[in-house]
Chains A and B, each alone.
Chain A
Amino acid sequence: MTDSKYFTTTKKGEIFELKAELNSDKKEKKKEAVKKVIASMTVGKDVSALFPDVVNCMQTDNLELKKLVYLYLMNYAKSQPDMAIMAVNTFVKDCEDPNPLIRALAVRTMGCIRVDKITEYLCEPLRKCLKDEDPYVRKTAAVCVAKLHDINAQLVEDQGFLDTLKDLISDSNPMVVANAVAALSEIAESHPSSNLLDLNPQSINKLLTALNECTEWGQIFILDCLANYMPKDDREAQSICERVTPRLSHANSAVVLSAVKVLMKFMEMLSKDLDYYGTLLKKLAPPLVTLLSAEPELQYVALRNINLIVQKRPEILKHEMKVFFVKYNDPIYVKLEKLDIMIRLASQANIAQVLAELKEYATEVDVDFVRKAVRAIGRCAIKVEQSAERCVSTLLDLIQTKVNYVVQEAIVVIKDIFRKYPNKYESVIATLCENLDSLDEPEARAAMIWIVGEYAERIDNADELLESFLEGFHDESTQVQLQLLTAIVKLFLKKPTETQELVQQVLSLATQDSDNPDLRDRGYIYWRLLSTDPVAAKEVVLAEKPLISEETDLIEPTLLDELICYIGTLASVYHKPPSAFVEGSRGVVHKNLPPRTGSSESAESPDAAPSGVQAPEPPAVIPTQGDLLGDLLNLDLGPPVSGPAMAASSVQMGAVDLLGGGLDSLVGRGSMGGGGGSFAPAPSAAAPASLGAPMGSGLGDLFDLTGGVGALSGSYVAPKTVWLPAMKAKGLEISGTFSRQVGSISMDLVLTNKALQVMSDFAIQFNRNSFGLAPAAPLQVHAPLAPNQSVEISLPLNTVGSVMKMDPLNNLQVAVKNNIDVFYFSTLYPLHILFVEDGKMERQMFLATWKDIPNENEAQFQIKDCSLSADAVSSKLQGSNIFTIAKRNVEGQDMLYQSLKLTNGIWVLAELRIQPSNPSFTLSLKCRAPEVAPYVFQAYETVLKN
């Protein structure tokens, strides 16, 4: 008597037979028939032909039969919209049923029927149900609003359901609150701009109360919603944290992780000296560790998130290294993640343990895992200097095993260790050389050749070794060929007498017999160098190389901050912001960590402010190509990046990049590039051109020509500074400044080619930034840039680009592409380029606004050592679009009242107090967005002092 009997009829007349049964008079037979229909449906069989017959069974008091028919309806109504209308009456009737279960069922099912015509009939019953006396019905109705919104958003807005839904947030029943929050969050996702979840301290309080009483799933919705709230000060942040902390002990791991997100985010606002801060850090560790004892799928998601948390706040888990030790029956995806975190947590204190573990892993069965373990040993050596020696000896032990792929990986990482600690471990070279023959992977061969070339003077038979590679030169991969060429040239420069023939041979192989342009180019340049000036060649080729950095695959700090706001979501699994991969979320609002608001840094202490402005330099990070490309450039430069796939391989990319960089720096400053070679020249970048921009740029150019004359009328332009040194950009040096001329902003650049190769195909892109600065026209470099030549360019900018809050606010990340590679740099722009020409406020307006802005938004600064008179100040500032509205003389002091407006419409009001005897002015700024104040102050200072 099991349900499997429903699957048995497979005869031709099945549908016909079912039809007859459905129309039977016997209730029991009817029900059996409906069950058969449902069974067929579950396995994907098409039973839509039975629609009218099944719908006929709907009018029944038997709840089970009713539910079954509803199930059927939901599945097929879309394909039979006209028939579905037949069901409407029953629904409407059921919505009035005295049994709340039936009322809820009816409204729930109606919402699932995705037919436009039905939705019209749904509105009235839904309105009633949202106000139903029974909370079970209300909570079901709340979800129904989200369903309806999905089908017909306009209808939901017109009918005012959104407001009703907002009211439900204050419902007395926690389950209703949770569902209302869930529904609103879902609706808000498709309406990023709307202020649906307008959170304020009162509603937050209600949510926190509901949090304790609703179901686990409701808790997740509420916590995720809380995470979007910006507490107004550290005290509020702390009180929310206190009330969220108990959720860390929940049995449901999703609740735990959502709670972790809220805490990680709000912690940002707490001062580090606070006792509570330390307590919170301590409380976070155990739940994170507990997540690792759950099912492997949960572990995986947890580990991806822990990876982020460890980068943001390493102190949380620094004592928990052991829980990340790999068990041999962990699934491979868990193993690889654990390994990654182990390296991040490695420090002098625990390195011995870590190394012992890594060595153990290197003898496991899984090839991918073993490779990664070997690499990890190398990374430990680079990260923890004290351990380098032990790491190297571990690697040598591994080489002794003679397992092919272990040896190859070991050689690749030893090369990196040599680069980090030059002239320290060269004694191992002999052992490495023994394994020369077993290397068959290009990466390992290239690494070995690099080692031989680099230390040619210490290897007696270096020429023989390299010669042996030369035999099959044309069968090698480009990577190996380039490396071989460089290594032999190095060898020649070190031992010129014995190796003349060899170098001749390789140069002719590279230049004459190869059809790879990179290889030919590099061959020619060596040839030229060697034949014209061997001394210069030595300087170039044997130049000292920069040390490699410690961490090669850290996530960029701004991205990391954004990802911390997305803990627990898909974004945290892929380590990409949702905008990079979630379909249809074009307008996703970017989340950012709240700024720390230590109460000591209030506006009263003017001296504290400037120091706050100079935000601590973010740690220098070599971002992996994949991450930056995805985030910074979207798709314009380089090959298209398809989000998640890229993320998966980003670790490997990092490694490749390391080697690429290594190869390039071999040629020192005179790099011919191509070594990294991973980026094919992209089709010329399509920079977003905006309307009206060409005219603006033309005007800008005109003014540029008039030079000195315009200087008075335009705003202050700082002298150009070097933004991208040639060292970092394969010979391309970029210096520049920002200017504002008659309403148009431009970026004045000087590109200098310090490489030995012609550069062309320039393109430029900005990352999203606080004010949406973007190039208004493509970067126009008319002729290719010959070596040692410079070109001046004025790049018109507009402010219609996409906006993301940066830290510091005026940070601008730029990518420049040329035929060689893509380069990244970031620069700070002075805020006054954003002061618009119509920034003069009416007097009355000024007074009203000044009063209107709350006092806590006022910030005070001191401008020191400025001896201008009030009039001079006011005219100087006017040049930079800071307008004086009124001037008063109070007790011998001049008070200037000024206003300015930013491109994004933010008004800033200022009061400048000038005492004739005192060279420092007092500047009070009032603005609705107080975070701009320090930057406005900077702009004042720059303008006044120049």
Chain B
Amino acid sequence: MIHSLFLINCSGDIFLEKHWKSVVSQSVCDYFFEAQEKAVDVENVPPVIPTPHHYLISIYRDKIFFVSVIQTEVPPLFVIEFLHRVADTFQDYFGECSETAIKDNVVIVYELLEEMLDNGFPLATESNILKELIKPPTILRSVVNSITGSSNVGDTLPTGQLSNIPWRRAGVKYTNNEAYFDVIEEIDAIIDKSGSTVFAEIQGVIDSCIKLSGMPDLSLSFMNPRLLDDVSFHPCIRFKRWESERVLSFIPPDGNFRLISYRVSSQNLVAIPVYVKHMISFKENSSSGRFDVTIGPKQNMGKTVEGVVMTVHMPKAVLNMNLTSTQGTYTFDPVTKVLTWDVGKITPQKLPNLKGIVNLQSGAPKPEENPSLNIQFKIQQLAISGLKVNRLDMYGEKYKPFKGVKYITKAGKFQVRT
């Protein structure tokens, strides 16, 4: 199981270590640094690194490497999932998962890690339970604590820990009872040169914010549940009900959580809400090139496409770019060769366009590769797959909760090849 954990920042400092069994020397991280050096880019560090006596399994999140040391045959996914859970917990507790946040709260971090893993076995990873054991820091609490001498550590057994619904604590009370669901869909797509879709799929999630007193039992039904054929559920969902009736029935955790995630596969047709017209060319032997890109709305169901940002990794030989945009602002970073164009909202009457001259290094050969355009966008009040919530019913409690559903569609890994 998981032996030790090292947190390493981008400049290669080990700023926290935790051992669950015997102590493993920091020098084991040298193998990691070696791999890091080889990979050049931080994203390219391989997640599993063998060393003579251990294996290092790492993830890269928020500019921090979480490097775990294992010694026996352990499912790597188990370790990776757990590491992501650790990062999520830090995020949850401190509002951000950064080196400063961790250093500022080092004792809580240590207590958390001790509580999450025992002898390498996960102990309590549900944020509900953790928060009962170790209270998250707030300014008010630290002031109160310093006056009264009370502590951050809960001294009773968390109620959810052993029940059949470990994700919910007992005795939740709210004055305003509310349940909100955000249906968020991301379109992953590869569009080829000519504008036709090579690959497209929709990754959807339903994130919930539930603040309901007592033990509410909810059931959520959809207008078109047949869309959901590939779904991953939060453990709270009763699988049998879903199998037989296509209804999500569950006792929710308290607070924010991801209810389901789903994939609408490429077999169903995926609507592509924007199109891009592009002309990027480099002239032979003249150290310059042309750049002309227009973005326009396509199948967007009458909603506005907004928050449009285009990023392009230009070839290495590009020195700088002289462009004019009809809308929004653009920046070009000559060091990383990244062009970012913040377009904003697309109005169909006047399509945003960015064009101009690309200056190449003189004498360098004409770049071979064609840059891919990465597009981000947002469409409010629309789930592009057509998924619609039908109704939400609550059983088990008497009060009348306030309910709400929000839809949003975003670009995921949306790239246009040129």
Chain A residues with CB under 8 Å of chain B are 1-4, 6-7, 27-28, 31, 35, 38-39, 42-44, 62-65, 67-68, 71, 75, 78, 99-101, 108, 111-112, 114, 134-136, 140, 143-144, 146-147, 150, 173-175, 179, 182-183, 186, 189, 213, 215-217, 220, 224, 246, 249-254, 256-258, 286-287, 289-290, 293, 295-298, 300-302, 319, 322-323, 325, 327-329, 331-333, 353, 356-357, 360, 363-365, 401, 403, 566, 568-571, 573-574, 578, 581-583, 585, 643-645
Residue contact B118 to A140, C-beta cutoff 8 Å:
yes
Docked complex Cα distance between A263 and B153 (Å): 43
Docked complex Cα distance between A692 and B172 (Å): 76
Q: Assuming A75-B23, A365-B315, what are 9 further A-B pairs, CB within 8 angstroms?
A: A64-B152, A67-B153, A112-B20, A250-B233, A297-B57, A566-B73, A570-B55, A573-B76, A643-B50
Can you offer 13 A-B residue contacts whose CB atoms are under 8 A? A42-B18, A136-B157, A150-B21, A215-B166, A224-B75, A249-B239, A254-B75, A329-B413, A331-B43, A401-B368, A570-B75, A581-B50, A585-B72
Residue contact A295 to B59, C-beta cutoff 8 Å:
yes
Residue contact A108 to B156, C-beta cutoff 8 Å:
no
Q: In the complex, what residues of A have CB within 8 A of residue B315's CB?
A: 365
Pick the contact of B106 from A3, A217, A328 — CB < 8 Å?
Answer: A3
Q: In the complex, what residues of B have CB within 8 A of residue A297's CB?
A: 47, 57-60, 80
Q: Which residue from chain A places its CB closest to the CB of B233 in the assembled complex? A: A249
Residue contact A251 to B72, C-beta cutoff 8 Å:
no
Chain B residues with CB under 8 Å of chain A are 1, 14-23, 26, 39, 41, 43-44, 46-48, 50, 53, 55, 57-60, 71-78, 80-82, 84, 100, 103-111, 114, 118-119, 121-123, 125-126, 139, 142-143, 146, 149, 151-157, 161-162, 164, 166, 188, 190, 192, 198-199, 201, 203, 229-235, 239, 243, 258, 261, 263, 265-267, 313, 315-316, 368-370, 372, 374, 413, 415, 417
Q: In the complex, what residues of B have CB within 8 A of residue A578's CB?
A: 73
Residue contact B142 to A1, C-beta cutoff 8 Å:
yes
CB distance from A32 to the nearest CB of B (A): 10
CB distance from B257 to the nearest CB of A (A): 10
Residue contact A252 to B162, C-beta cutoff 8 Å:
no
Residue contact A220 to B78, C-beta cutoff 8 Å:
yes
Residue contact A101 to B77, C-beta cutoff 8 Å:
no
Q: In the complex, what residues of A have CB within 8 A of residue B149's CB?
A: 27-28
Residue contact B369 to A365, C-beta cutoff 8 Å:
yes
Pick the contact of A363 from B26, B188, B370 — CB < 8 Å?
Answer: B370
CB distance from A345 to the nearest CB of B (A): 14
Docked complex Cα distance between A112 and B121 (Å): 13
Q: In the complex, what residues of B have CB within 8 A of residue A253's CB?
A: 77, 80-81
Residue contact A295 to B84, C-beta cutoff 8 Å:
yes
Residue contact B78 to A217, C-beta cutoff 8 Å:
yes
Q: In the complex, what residues of B have CB within 8 A of residue A136's CB?
A: 157, 161-162
Docked complex Cα distance between A7 and B26 (Å): 19
Residue contact B162 to A43, C-beta cutoff 8 Å:
no
Q: A43-B16, A62-B151 are in contact. Are A301 and B77 (CB under 8 A)?
A: yes
Q: Which residue from chain A places its CB closest to the CB of B76 in the assembled complex? A: A301
Residue contact A570 to B73, C-beta cutoff 8 Å:
yes
CB distance from A114 to the nearest CB of B (A): 6
Docked complex Cα distance between A175 and B161 (Å): 9
CB distance from A577 to the nearest CB of B (A): 10
Pick the contact of A78 from B1, B22, B110, B263 — CB < 8 Å?
Answer: B22
Residue contact B108 to A3, C-beta cutoff 8 Å:
yes
Q: Which residue from chain B places its CB closest to the CB of A174 in the assembled complex? A: B164
Residue contact A251 to B261, C-beta cutoff 8 Å:
yes
A-B interface pairs (CB < 8 A), number = 263
Q: In the complex, what residues of A have CB within 8 A of residue B263's CB?
A: 286, 289-290, 293
Docked complex Cα distance between A493 and B220 (Å): 81
Q: In the complex, what residues of A have CB within 8 A of residue B146's CB?
A: 1, 28
CB distance from A580 to the nearest CB of B (A): 11
Residue contact B80 to A38, C-beta cutoff 8 Å:
no
Residue contact A286 to B155, C-beta cutoff 8 Å:
no
Pick the contact of A2 from B53, B82, B105, B188 — CB < 8 Å?
Answer: B105
Name the 8 nearest CB pairs between A and B, nearest first: A64-B151, A2-B104, A286-B230, A64-B153, A297-B47, A254-B77, A217-B122, A254-B78
Residue contact B188 to A293, C-beta cutoff 8 Å:
yes
Q: In the complex, what residues of B have CB within 8 A of residue A319's CB?
A: 267
Q: In the complex, what residues of A have CB within 8 A of residue B106's CB?
A: 3-4, 6-7, 38-39, 42
Q: In the complex, what residues of A have CB within 8 A of residue B122's CB?
A: 215, 217
Residue contact B104 to A583, C-beta cutoff 8 Å:
no
Q: Which residue from chain B places its CB closest to the CB of A190 in the assembled complex? A: B72
Q: In the complex, what residues of A have CB within 8 A of residue B15's CB?
A: 43
Residue contact A101 to B190, C-beta cutoff 8 Å:
no
CB distance from B120 to the nearest CB of A (A): 8
Q: Which residue from chain B places its CB closest to the CB of A61 in the assembled complex? A: B155
Q: In the complex, what residues of B have CB within 8 A of residue A38's CB?
A: 106-107, 110
Q: In the complex, what residues of A have CB within 8 A of residue B123's CB?
A: 140
Pick the contact of A570 from B76, B121, B156, B415 — CB < 8 Å?
Answer: B76
Residue contact A250 to B235, C-beta cutoff 8 Å:
yes
Residue contact B166 to A43, C-beta cutoff 8 Å:
no
Q: Which residue from chain B places its CB closest to the CB of A32 in the assembled complex? A: B146
Q: In the complex, what residues of A have CB within 8 A of residue B232's CB?
A: 249-251, 256, 287, 290
Q: A75-B23, A249-B231 are in contact. Are A189 and B72 (CB under 8 A)?
A: yes
Residue contact A258 to B118, C-beta cutoff 8 Å:
no
Q: In the complex, what residues of A have CB within 8 A of residue B81's CB?
A: 252-254, 298
Residue contact B50 to A112, C-beta cutoff 8 Å:
no
Docked complex Cα distance between A174 and B161 (Å): 12
Docked complex Cα distance between A286 and B266 (Å): 11
Q: In the complex, what residues of B have CB within 8 A of residue A296's CB?
A: 43, 47
Docked complex Cα distance between A847 and B23 (Å): 60
Docked complex Cα distance between A578 and B265 (Å): 35
CB distance from A78 to the nearest CB of B (A): 7
Residue contact B104 to A257, C-beta cutoff 8 Å:
no
CB distance from B187 to the nearest CB of A (A): 12
Docked complex Cα distance between A325 and B119 (Å): 40
Docked complex Cα distance between A331 and B43 (Å): 6
Residue contact B77 to A568, C-beta cutoff 8 Å:
yes
Q: Which residue from chain A places its CB closest to the CB of B148 in the assembled complex? A: A28
Q: Which residue from chain A places its CB closest to the CB of B139 in the assembled complex? A: A1
Pick the contact of B44 from A63, A112, A150, A331 — CB < 8 Å?
Answer: A331
Docked complex Cα distance between A63 and B132 (Å): 13
Q: In the complex, what residues of A have CB within 8 A of residue B114's CB?
A: 67, 71
Q: Which residue from chain B places its CB closest to the CB of A114 in the assembled complex? A: B22
Docked complex Cα distance between A319 and B20 (Å): 44
Residue contact A327 to B413, C-beta cutoff 8 Å:
yes
Q: In the complex, what residues of A have CB within 8 A of residue B41's CB?
A: 331-332
CB distance from B108 to the nearest CB of A (A): 7
Q: A28-B149, A573-B48 are in contact. Are A99 and B118 (CB under 8 A)?
A: no
Q: A254-B78, A327-B413 are in contact. Are A4 and B104 (CB under 8 A)?
A: yes
Most chain A Cβ neighbours within 10 Å, of B46, B47, B156: B47
CB distance from A644 to the nearest CB of B (A): 4
Q: In the complex, what residues of A have CB within 8 A of residue B413's CB?
A: 327, 329
Residue contact A582 to B72, C-beta cutoff 8 Å:
yes
Docked complex Cα distance between A147 and B43 (Å): 36
Q: In the complex, what residues of B have CB within 8 A of residue A286's CB?
A: 229-230, 263, 265
CB distance from A468 to the nearest CB of B (A): 26
Residue contact B75 to A568, C-beta cutoff 8 Å:
yes
Q: Which residue from chain B places its CB closest to the CB of A293 in the assembled complex? A: B203
Docked complex Cα distance between A211 and B45 (Å): 35
CB distance from A522 to the nearest CB of B (A): 38
Residue contact A111 to B119, C-beta cutoff 8 Å:
yes
Docked complex Cα distance between A6 and B16 (Å): 14
Docked complex Cα distance between A257 and B80 (Å): 13
Q: Which residue from chain B places its CB closest to the CB of A213 in the assembled complex? A: B164
Q: In the complex, what residues of B have CB within 8 A of residue A257's CB?
A: 75, 77
Q: A3-B106, A246-B239, A322-B266 are in contact. Are A251 and B234 (CB under 8 A)?
A: yes
Docked complex Cα distance between A43 and B9 (Å): 13
Docked complex Cα distance between A325 and B118 (Å): 40
Docked complex Cα distance between A28 and B148 (Å): 10
CB distance from A266 to the nearest CB of B (A): 18
